[in-house]
Amino acid sequence: MHEQEILQKIATGDINAFKRLFEKYQTSVFNLCYRFSKNRQEAEDLCQDVFLKIFKAAHTFRQQSHPSTWIYRITINLCLNHKRKKNRHTWLSLQDLAQGKNSQEHDIEDDSQITPIEQLELSEREKIVQQAIKALPKNQRIAFILQRYEHMSVKEIAEILGCSESSVQSRLSRARENLAKKLLPLAREI
């Protein structure tokens, strides 16, 4: 069964169709919510809110885009609204950014191998990167996260954000330039 058909069934109240959609997108939606909140409990709550919204709004899906685009748009909007309410901005770690790790890599370092001084340095670097990403304009920040950590194409990001592909490319380019300006001095110190 195609996702459009699943959404049509959800619109009629079909719980089994909803379970299938939930099972397919739960991990992706949770990971995106976690990137916005950096708090497991908040991410779980946001994820639950996303799927509740999907269930209630399934009848509004117009099939003009892929269902995943619609789901990501709902997720991003709810996360942004939550952020505005909480006015909390925490983002990615310097290690992940520097090493190019994505969200699905959950390397757990052996803390016994890290000295207290190294841990302090990592913590300070992480704060600097979080501040740099937090300082990006909202559109740049979202495009950057979707491409770098969700591994979405420019076309997919354009559909989610409701803008042209050239606009997304411009946002990504500006985001990288802005991050480089803020983080290059840090990289030279390392």
Tell me the per-residue pLDDT of 89-137, one tens digit each, with 9 for 90 and over. Answer: 334 444 444 444 444 343 334 444 667 777 777 777 777 777 787 788 9
Split at pLDDT 50, 70, 90, the class of 165 is very high
pTM above 0.85, yes or no: no
Q: Which residues of 128-151 are buried (b: 16+ CB within 10 A; e: fewer)?
A: ebbebbeebeebbbbbbbbbbbbe
Query: Residue 95 has what pLDDT?
Result: 45
Report the alpha-carbon distance of residue 33 to residue 81 in Å, rounded.
12
The Cα–Cα gap between 18 and 177 comes to 41
Whole-number percent of the chain with pLDDT over 70: 81
User: What's the CA gap between 46 and 79, in Å, rounded?
Assistant: 7
Average pLDDT score, the chain: 80
> From CA 84, how far away is CA 115, in angstroms rounded?
37
Can you list the domains of the chain with their CATH numbers? Answer: 1-88 (1.10.1740.10), 91-104+114-190 (1.10.10.10)
